[in-house]
Amino acid sequence: MEKLNLTLTQKVAIKWLKNVDSSLFIFKFLKDLEFGFRALFYAGIIAFTVFALIFASSFINFADAPLAPFWDTLGDIIFYGTIAGMTLILTLESVLKLDVAQILTDLKEQKRRKKEQKLQRWRLRNMNIWMRIFVYICIYTFLLYIIQLSAQGAFIDLFSTVPNTPETQKQIAIFVSEYDKFVKWYTFIYIVSGLTLDYFVSKKRTKAAKMEAQNENA
């Protein structure tokens, strides 16, 4: 199957259609409109999205929830991420003259073949070493962030209302010491697990490369 030669903007538009308008209802509707009406539609749907998110967020309050900072951060990511995602509707202008239905069919077929041959980009064995390191660091950082939020919540729950006495300071010192030990053990176990995992990933990459070379020489 030939590789689709699309610009970056067109790739973003196709991705948007796959995830938001897979039935191509909005695309077909916009395709028949003049540019002025399309511009009004873009502005209207983006404004409606912002208004709907602000309205919905007015009913949500994480102040009293466990791990409130985490949920606030997650809420902000969803809020601004949704707005940013909806603004990508503007990229549809770059594909209005293309046979989008056929492109989506071709992409679906490519996805099926990649799945059969296990060539998906998200698989560790299909990433280069630097991308795998980046993934390992991201997972480590995310888990450490959860651990820190949990420790902060436990610290506040245990010591926020107790009097500031020598015994309290002793217990705080013990808490901090145990937390540091936990983080060190977590880091050690994570590094060992990551190295072990990457060893097997590298073996699979080598095996796959040899099989591909044999198929090319056959």
Q: What is residue 216's predicted lDDT score, i.e. its pLDDT?
A: 53
Reported as a pLDDT band with limits 50, 70 and 90, residue 1 is: very low
Q: pLDDT, tens digit, for every residue of 72-84?
A: 888 889 999 999 9
H or E segment at 148? helix 129-159
pTM for this predicted structure: 0.53
Distances in whole angstroms, Cα of residue 193 to Cα of each of 149, 156, 199: 23, 32, 10
| HSE of 37, CA atoms in CB hemisphere, 13 A | 6
Does residue 208 surpass a pLDDT of 80? no
Question: Taking Cα atoms as reference points, which of 155, 157, 160, 145 lies closest to residue 70?
Answer: 145
Q: pLDDT, tens digit, for every residue of 2-55?
A: 456 788 999 999 999 988 888 888 898 888 889 999 999 999 999 999 999 999
Q: pLDDT, tens digit, for every residue of 87-97?
A: 999 999 999 88
Domain boundaries, the chain: 8-117, 124-217
